[in-house]
Amino acid sequence: MTYFIIDAFTDKAFAGNPAAVCLLERPLTTELMASIAREMNLSETAFVRREGDAWRLRWFTPAVEVPLCGHGTLATARALHEAGLVTGDKVHFNSLSGELAARYQGDWIELDFPSLPPSPAPVPAGILDALRLDATPRWTGINSHHYWLLDVGSAATVRALAPDRAATMKLDMPGIVVTGAGDAPYDFTSRFFAPADGIFEDPVTGSAHAALAPYWGNVLGKTDFVAYQASSRGGILKVRLAGNRVLIAGRTVVVATGDLLIP
């Protein structure tokens, strides 16, 4: 089975968010895909198989299957193009989050994702303690994918965040998005933690921007953004609100490809 390792949301190797992409010629069991994801030991391993005129796409962390993954989808679109399996400028996917699409735009690939806006809600005290946040966020809320969003005000506060790793990993929460206004040229900055999925900090998270875009759209009164995710690897995303969809664009770099031997 052919596989790729691709750095997503970056234009240079060993930055952005790495994903493994497995091109399936036949169906695999969920258990086998989960085992392969543990073997790859990246934040996400994507499995893609042709399904009529589209592609069936699933994503696994080393711990669980997830319903939506931006960098895994971006990497999959690049892998299909590299393998010569896509003609034209657009590819369609069927996923646990419904129909998704990716459009090739020169060096960029634009994802068509559902908008997942957060609703205001008081954040559990355990989150603030684990993140070591002394100041109260200026806004907190949660969306339908159970991602908590905390606006801490500034990019400097986001970058300076130093969570308690052990305490964070004890939280039974699939996503914690910490965000603040961006430093030029970025409209907003974020970091993302996914303890329930077995991930302390995710380097660059497309699915988080399906929540960040509608939130910052309300705050800034605009629909087009350039965003930065301030992990140690870092990543740049172009984000656009389009009704009940969010368009998320990024660049990719292929860092490895090979054959995976399936028993």
Does residue 87 carry a pLDDT above 90? no
The fraction of the chain above a pLDDT of 90, given in percent, is 98
pLDDT band at 135 (very low <50, low <70, confident <90, very high): confident
**pTM of the predicted protein model:** 0.96
Q: Which residue has the tokens 């172009």?
A: 238
Phi first, then psi: give them for residue 260, nearest 5 degrees: -95, 125
Does residue 200 carry a pLDDT above 90? yes
Phi first, then psi: give them for residue 175, nearest 5 degrees: -160, 130
> What is the H or E stretch that residue 165 is in?
helix 165-169
For residues 180 and 137, what is the distance between their CA atoms, to the nearest angstrom?
A: 10
Overall size of the chain counted in residues: 263
Beta-bridged to residue 257, according to DSSP, are: 4
Cis peptide before 137 (omega within 30 of 0): no
Q: Which residue has the higher pLDDT, 213 or 262?
A: 213
Does residue 245 carry a pLDDT above 90? yes
Considering the chain, what is the average pLDDT of its residues?
97
Q: What is the pLDDT of residues 38-49, one digit of tens each?
A: 999 999 999 999
Right CATH number for 2-113+249-259 from 3.10.310.10, 3.40.309.10, 2.60.120.560, 3.40.50.12160?
3.10.310.10
Rounded to an integer, the average pLDDT of 79-93 is: 96
Q: What is the pLDDT of residues 47-75, one digit of tens each?
A: 999 999 999 999 999 999 999 999 999 99
| CATH no., domain 119-242 | 3.10.310.10
For residues 194 and 172, what is the distance between their CA atoms, to the nearest angstrom?
A: 9
- Of 25, 31, 44, 51, which residue is the catalytic one? 44
Q: What's the pLDDT score for residue 221?
A: 98
For residues 178 and 161, what is the distance between their CA atoms, to the nearest angstrom?
A: 9
Rounded to an integer, the average pLDDT of 165-180 is: 97
Q: Which residue has the tokens 């996400």?
A: 44
Rounded to an integer, the average pLDDT of 151-170 is: 97
Rounded to an integer, the average pLDDT of 110-130 is: 96
Q: What's the pLDDT score for residue 166?
A: 98
Q: What's the pLDDT score for residue 122?
A: 97
137 secondary structure, DSSP code: P
Q: What's the pLDDT score for residue 125?
A: 84
Name the amino acid, one letter, at 128.
Answer: L
For residues 239 and 262, what is the distance between their CA atoms, to the nearest angstrom?
A: 38
The number of C-alpha atoms within 13 Å of 215 and in the hemisphere containing its C-beta is 31
Known active-site residue 44: yes
Which residue ranges does the chain devote to CATH 3.10.310.10? 2-113+249-259, 119-242
Beta-bridged to residue 179, according to DSSP, are: 151, 190
